[in-house]
């Protein structure tokens, strides 16, 4: 992401001109842009023109429009944003108040006007504009006949390919038929890796499977690379990390990222930091539950006594349509930081973020036990009974 211009007053009101560089920046934009904001961008509009003879023709013209945002839709596959709203500035092609949908894509400049640029949004822009904050990782989760190739960036997990090949079971077909199907499957997985993984950026490629599928595939791929003199695979052999998973489905990524060998390899990536924090929270809930709480009311109670050591919060909470609710979470984050606590903002497009969303989207690891939080809840329940 490139920040072209910034003009924000002391009350937090103002505008920013941004240019997204890549698909991940569109996810950042989705989290920055809110209903009620104004968006100024180039767009295509179909225009009807009438000739002197009374016949009409339609043409598509490119124009600059400013809309008051009413709806935002993020396409994870295409990494594109569709933003719908009413036109709020004079335009020769679009009437004031008319509805229009703007498609935001990488490498196209746009301007966002906000009544309030809060600390969460400003930090997200700072991170998006800093290339050092991007830690990229690829993963292949597989089982016999099935594989998913995913890219895990600092903000999102994106499916890039799904491979399905029918492999006959042992004993139900002749050995030659089975071997041919396995080779076809391996070739398709290898082709997907070469097509979707940028080895110049990616720090590690995880290959995960139950049993020996990963080992047999990796052996086949490297043997094939040597025979074909594929220098890309040969030179990047050390980036591949083989790890066990319970299945070949995408949800197994969470357990893969929690593996200690993987964590060591990915120690400097944002995804690994979030996974470690969530793992620590889950362990704390089992071993020392008075130091692990989730849900906004419990977490705010802990924060009142400056007890929060690590705050875990999902970015989905900052996309709430309720302005007061958004501000509540922003205040919580700012307060925890002021008190010296660590804040981990999870992407809801990450496996770890999906898990946190299932637990209300906010959780905290405390510096010291606070059993009274749970006791107050029991007292309230008793009163209600």
Dihedral Cα 223, 228, 234, 235, nearest 10 deg: 180
Q: Are strands 342-346 and 308-314 parallel, antiparallel or unpaired?
A: parallel
Q: Does 147 score more than 80 pLDDT?
A: yes
Q: Does 363 score more than 60 pLDDT?
A: yes
Average pLDDT over residues 117-132: 85
Residues 6+ apart with CB under 8 A from 69: 33, 34, 35, 36, 37, 38, 39, 83, 84, 85
Give the other-Cβ count within 10 Å of 238's Cβ. Answer: 7
Q: Does 154 score more than 80 pLDDT?
A: no
DSSP annotation of 119 reads: H
Average pLDDT over residues 210-233: 95
- Interhelix angle 119-128/23-32, rounded to 10 degrees, is 170
Which range among 209-218, 273-282, 351-360 has the greatest average pLDDT?
209-218
pLDDT tens by residue, 265-309: 665 556 667 888 999 999 999 999 999 999 999 999 999 999 999
Q: Would you state the pLDDT for residue 385? A: 46
Q: For the domain covering 2-133, report its CATH number.
A: 2.30.30.870
Q: Which CATH superfamily is domain 137-265 in?
A: eRF1 domain 2 (3.30.420.60)
- Tokens 């074909």, residue located: 228
- Tokens 């945002």, residue located: 69
Alpha carbon distance 150, 248 (integer Å): 12
Q: Would you state the pLDDT for residue 349? A: 81
Q: Would you state the pLDDT for residue 200? A: 83
370 touches 331 (CB < 8 A): no
108 touches 244 (CB < 8 A): no
Task: Give the percent of the chain with pLDDT over 90.
Answer: 62
Q: Does 6 score more than 70 pLDDT?
A: yes
Q: Global pTM?
A: 0.68
pLDDT tens by residue, 230-263: 999 999 999 999 999 999 998 888 888 877 767 6
In three-state secondary structure terms, 19 is strand
pLDDT band at 134 (very low <50, low <70, confident <90, very high): low
Containing 92, the helix (H) or strand (E) segment is none
141 touches 163 (CB < 8 A): no
Beta strands in the chain (DSSP E): 2-8, 14-19, 38-50, 56-75, 80-87, 99-104, 110-114, 137-143, 146-152, 157-164, 205-209, 240-244, 292-294, 308-314, 342-346, 362-366
Residues 6+ apart with CB under 8 A from 71: 35, 83, 84, 85
Residue-range domain boundaries for the chain:
2-133, 137-265, 270-384
Q: Would you state the pLDDT for residue 135? A: 46
Q: Are strands 38-50 and 56-75 parallel, antiparallel or unpaired?
A: antiparallel
Q: Would you state the pLDDT for residue 377? A: 65
pLDDT band at 7 (very low <50, low <70, confident <90, very high): very high
Average pLDDT over residues 146-168: 86
Q: Would you state the pLDDT for residue 198? A: 86
CATH of 270-384, one of 3.40.50.1980, 3.40.50.300, 3.30.1330.30, 3.40.50.720: 3.30.1330.30
pLDDT band at 14 (very low <50, low <70, confident <90, very high): very high
pLDDT tens by residue, 67-90: 999 999 998 777 789 999 999 998
Average pLDDT over residues 202-208: 89
Alpha carbon distance 89, 67 (integer Å): 8
pLDDT band at 353 (very low <50, low <70, confident <90, very high): confident
Q: Would you state the pLDDT for residue 378? A: 57
Average pLDDT over residues 337-359: 90
Q: Does 383 score more than 70 pLDDT?
A: no
């Amino acid at each position: 992401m490139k920040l072209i211009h910034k003009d924000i007053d002391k009350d937090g009101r103002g505008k920013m001109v941004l240019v997204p560089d890549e698909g991940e920046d569109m996810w950042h934009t989705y989290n920055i842009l809110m209903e009620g904001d104004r968006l100024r961008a180039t767009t295509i509009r179909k225009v009807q023109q009438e000739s002197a003879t009374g016949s009409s023709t339609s043409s598509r013209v490119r124009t600059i429009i400013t809309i008051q945002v009413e709806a935002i839709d993020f396409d994870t596959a295409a990494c594109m944003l569709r933003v719908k709203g009413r036109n709020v500035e004079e335009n020769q092609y679009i009437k004031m108040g008319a509805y229009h949908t703007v498609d935001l894509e990488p490498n196209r400049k746009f301007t966002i006007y906000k009544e309030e640029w809060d600390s969460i949004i400003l930090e997200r822009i700072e991170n998006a504009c800093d290339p050092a904050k991007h830690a990229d990782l690829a993963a292949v989760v597989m089982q016999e006949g099935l594989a998913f190739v995913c890219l895990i960036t600092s903000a999102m997990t994106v499916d890039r390919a799904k491979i399905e090949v029918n492999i006959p079971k042992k004993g139900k077909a002749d050995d030659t038929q089975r071997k041919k199907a396995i080779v076809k499957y391996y070739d398709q997985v290898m082709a997907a890796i070469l097509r979707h993984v940028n080895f110049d950026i990616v720090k590690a490629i995880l290959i995960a499977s139950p049993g020996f599928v990963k080992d047999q595939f990796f052996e086949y791929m490297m043997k094939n690379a040597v025979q074909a003199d594929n220098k890309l695979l040969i030179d990047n052999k050390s980036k591949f990390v083989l790890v066990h998973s319970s299945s070949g489905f995408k949800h197994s990524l969470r357990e893969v990222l929690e593996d200690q060998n993987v964590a060591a390899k990915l120690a400097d990536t944002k995804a690994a930091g979030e996974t470690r924090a969530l793992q620590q929270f889950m362990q704390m809930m089992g071993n020392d539950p008075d130091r692990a709480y989730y849900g906004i009311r419990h977490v705010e109670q802990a924060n009142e006594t400056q007890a929060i050591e690590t705050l875990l919060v999902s970015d989905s909470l900052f996309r709430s349509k309720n302005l007061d609710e958004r501000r509540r979470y922003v205040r919580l984050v700012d307060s925890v930081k002021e008190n010296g606590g660590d804040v981990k903002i999870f992407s809801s497009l990450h496996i770890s973020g999906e898990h946190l969303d299932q637990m209300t989207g906010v959780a905290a690891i405390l510096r010291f036990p606070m059993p009274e939080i749970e006791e107050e809840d029991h007292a309230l329940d008793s009163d209600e009974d």
